[in-house]
A and B are shown apart, each in its own frame.
Chain A
Amino acid sequence: MDFTLNSEQTMLRDSARRYLAQAGGASWQGYAELGWLGIAAPEDAGGLGGGMADLAILAEELGRALAPEPFADGAVLATRLVDRLVVGHSREALLGEMIAGTRRLAAALYEPGRRYELAPQTTAVRDGGGYRLSGTKVLVMDGAAADDLLVTAALDGGVALFLVGREQAGVDGRAYRTVDRRDCADFRLDVTVEADRLLSGNALDAVEDALDEARLCLCADMLGGMDSAIEMTAEYLKTRTQFGQKLATFQALQHSVADLFIDADSVRSSLLRAIPAFGGERAARRKAVSACWVNTFETAKRVTGMAVHLHGAIGFTTEYRVGHYLRRAIVSERLFGDVEFHLARYMEG
C-alpha cells in the first residue's frame, strides 16, 4: 500500500494550486487549456484517461480555491456518461469538443418532489421517428451555460438517457443562483428529439457509476475547503490580539482548531479508502462512496461552521472568505444525495 502521489499527480496538484491562487477558478476555458476537462476522458478520444485518484487530487484544489465552475458535473459526470453511452463517430467528436471546452454538457437527473430518486417521472414517448420528452428537471448545475443536457426519462419501464440541446424549442430553462453563488437552472421539458439522441434505454447503472465518481469529487472538493478553512482559522488566531495577547496563545482555541484537524483528517481517510474501491465491485464501491459522503458532509458543516465561529464576527461577513466554505458545504451536500440519503444507501449495501 502506497499513499504517495506519483510525479504526474504531484505536478497536477501543485500546478492547480498555483493557477487557482492566481487566476481563480471561474474560467471553463482555462480548465480546458490546463487539460483538466480531459482527465476523465479516455485516451482514444484525446483525453488523459485519468482515474479516480487524479480527479480527486484536482477536485481538492478546486474546493480549496472555492472554484465556481461545475467540474464534478460537467467534466466528470457528463464526460463519463458520454464516453460510456455514446457510440460511433459522434462519441469522439463530442468528447473532443468537451475536452476543448467548446461544448458543455450538464446532467439533468433530479426532479421536483423526488429528492434524490434517479428513476425519473419525466417520460419519453415515441413520436414519429424520434421521442417526445415531458417533465421537469431541477438543480442542474450551470445548466444555463450548457450547450446540451443529459436527460433521464422513463422509457419502456427502463431509465433512458437522452442528449437534448438546451436551446431547442420546448426546453424551458430558469436560471438562478445557489446560496454559495454558483449558477444553477431548472428545466421544464416538452420537447421532441431525433431518435439518435437516445443514448441508452437502460442507463441507470451508467448513471450510478458516473455519479459515484462525481460524488467522490465533491467530497474531495469539500476536503480541500475544510483544509483551507482550518488553515485560515489558525492564521487568523495568530494575528488577532485580544486581552493583550494573540488569540493563538489561548489553549481553548488551540484545542478547538486541533479538533477541526482531527475530524477533517478522518474525512481524508474516508476519501483515501473510497478511491481504490473504484477498481473493485460495484456494491463495495457504492458503500465506500456513501460512507465518504456521510463523513465528509456531516463533518464539513461542523468544521467550516466552527471556522466561522473562531473568526468571530468578521467570519460572519460575506466579504470575508471563510464563511463561503460553509455555504459551499451546505449546497454541495445536496447536489448528489444528502447525508441522510447516503447513510440509508450505506445501510442497504
Chain B
Amino acid sequence: MNMAFTAEDEAFQQEVRGFIAANLPPALARREAMGFHNDRATVTAWQTALHRRGWTAPGWPVEFGGTGWSPVQRYIFERECGLANVPEICLIALSMVGPVLCRFGSPELRERFLQPILRGDYWFCQGFSEPEAGSDLASLRTRAVRDGGDWVINGQKIWTTDAHMADFMVCLARTDTEVKPQAGLSMIIVPMDAPGVTVRAIETLDGDHHVNEVFLDNVRVPAGNLIGEPNSGWTQAKFLLEHERTHNAYAGMLCRYVARIPALIEVGRANGLPEAQATEYRRRHARLAIDVEALEWSVLRVLAGQPGPALGAAASALAVRGAQCLLRAADLEMAILGPQVAPAFRPEDGVPMPAFAPPAAAGRTTQYLYWWAATIFGGSDEVQRTIIWNTLYR
C-alpha cells in the first residue's frame, strides 16, 4: 500500500497549476465559475492551448495522442481544472468517441477522426437515448439498414447533449432485429449535416440549451462509418460508458464548491446573514468537505483499479454519492445567498442583475437545478443501485 501523493505527483500538480494560470482565458474562467455551459466559440482558445501542450486527451492511449499519465496524475489534472474553473471541452468526442475509435475503429476511421478531435475541429454528440429507451438502452428502435455501400438510418434520438453544435453523432442503431436486443446493435458515425438529420432544441429546467431531439429520416452514411464489426455496438457502448466511469462523481467540480463556499459565507455575513445561520452553514460546509474528500479517494481507488469484485460497485457508488454531494453543495450555496438567488439570469440576456445581487449569485440556482440531471444521466441512481446489488449480493 502506498496511498499518499509522491513528490513527483506534487511537482505535476504545480506544473498543471502553472499551465492553467498561463493559458486559461480569464473571461472563460469567469463564465464557467458562474455556472453556464460553454459553446465551441468560447472554449476554442483553451482547447488550442491544451492541444499545443499535448494535454487534450488524458484517457487515450499514448500512440494516438494520449498523455500517458498515471491514474493519480489524471485525477490531479481533473482536480486542478475543477479548482481553477476550467470548463469541460467536448467531453463526448474526447472522453468517449476517441477511446472507442482507438480501441475498435478501423485505421481509416482513426486516420479521419482522431487528429481533428484532438485539435477541436470535430465535435461529437452521443446518439444513445431514445424516447422509449432511457435506462433500458438496449430496447432502442433506431434502425440502420444496409443498402449497397451505405447504411440507411431511421429513428429518433433524445437528450442528445451538444447535438446543436456537433459535427458528428456517434449513433447506436439496430442493425439486426432477429437476435436478442443487445446483440443487434451497431455504432455508426453520422455527419450532422447529412440530409435527413434534424435537430430540435430542448430547453431544460436550468434555463439553458444543452440537450436536443435528433430526428434521423432516411439518413444515408457510407458503410465504413460503422465502427468495428456490425452488431458489436453493445460492447462498444459499454466500453464507452465505462471508460469514464469516474466522470460522474464530478470530483473536480466538488472541490471547486468546497473551496469557494467559505468566502461566500463571509460575503453573506457582510450582507445581513446572521452569525447563527453562518455557523450552521460553516458546519454544513465542513460536513460536505468531509464527504468530498472521501469521494476523491473513491475516485482514486477506481482509477487505480483496486482489485476485487467491488470495483464496478464502487464506480456505481461514486456516481450516486457524486450527485448527492453536488446537490448538497449547490443547495448550500443557494441557502447562503438567500433571496439573491431568485432573479432569473443568463449571460446572453444582457439583462443586468438586480442591484442587490452580488456577481457570485448569478447562475447559482441554474447550477442547482442542473445537478438534478446528475441523478439521471450516465445511468440513473436506481440503475446504479441495481448494478451494486447484482454485482455484490445477488
Contact = CB atoms under 8 A, between A and B. Distances in A.
Interface in A261-300: 261-262, 265-267, 269-270, 272-273, 275-276, 279-280, 288, 291, 294-295
A291 B386 contact: no
Interface stretch (A3-11, A163-171, A201-209, A324-332): A3-11
A179 interface: no
Nearest to B303: A1
Which of B5, B293, B321: most chain A Cβ within 10 A? B293
A1 B71 contact: yes
A256 to B, nearest CB: 9
B283 A343 contact: yes
Contacts of A346: 286, 290
Given A255-B386, A261-B313, A262-B321, A2 B2 contact: yes
A276 B3 contact: yes
Contacts of A258: 384-386, 388-389
Given A234-B392, A291-B294, 15 more contacts: A1-B304, A2-B2, A2-B304, A3-B306, A9-B1, A53-B1, A248-B393, A254-B385, A254-B389, A254-B393, A258-B386, A262-B321, A273-B297, A291-B293, A343-B283
Contacts of A288: 293
A347 interface: yes
A255 B71 contact: no
B321 A1 contact: no
A269 B294 contact: yes
User: Top 8 closest A-B pairs, CB basis?
Assistant: A276-B4, A258-B385, A269-B297, A234-B393, A258-B388, A3-B306, A254-B389, A269-B294
A14 interface: no
A347 B286 contact: yes
Interface in B371-394: 382, 384-386, 388-389, 392-394
Nearest to A231: B393
A266 B2 contact: no
Contacts of B384: 258
Contact of A4 (B72, B286, B306): B306
Interface residues of A, number: 37
Given A254-B385, A261-B317, A272-B301, A1 B294 contact: no
Contacts of A262: 317, 320-321, 385, 388
B286 A5 contact: no
A2 B70 CA distance: 11
10 contacts: A3-B306, A254-B386, A258-B386, A261-B313, A265-B318, A270-B294, A276-B4, A291-B294, A295-B290, A346-B286
A257 interface: yes
B interface: dominant SS:
helix
Interface in A89-141: none
Contacts of A294: 287, 290
Contacts of B320: 262
Nearest to A276: B4
Contact of A266 (B287, B313, B317, B389): B317
Contacts of A194: none
B298 A347 contact: no
B394 to A, nearest CB: 7
Contacts of A4: 1, 306-307
Contacts of B337: none
Contact of A1 (B72, B287, B385, B389): B72
B328 interface: no
B61 to A, nearest CB: 21
A254 B389 CA distance: 6
A265 B290 contact: no
Interface in A299-318: none
B304 A265 contact: no
B113 to A, nearest CB: 33
B295 A255 contact: no
B2 A1 contact: yes
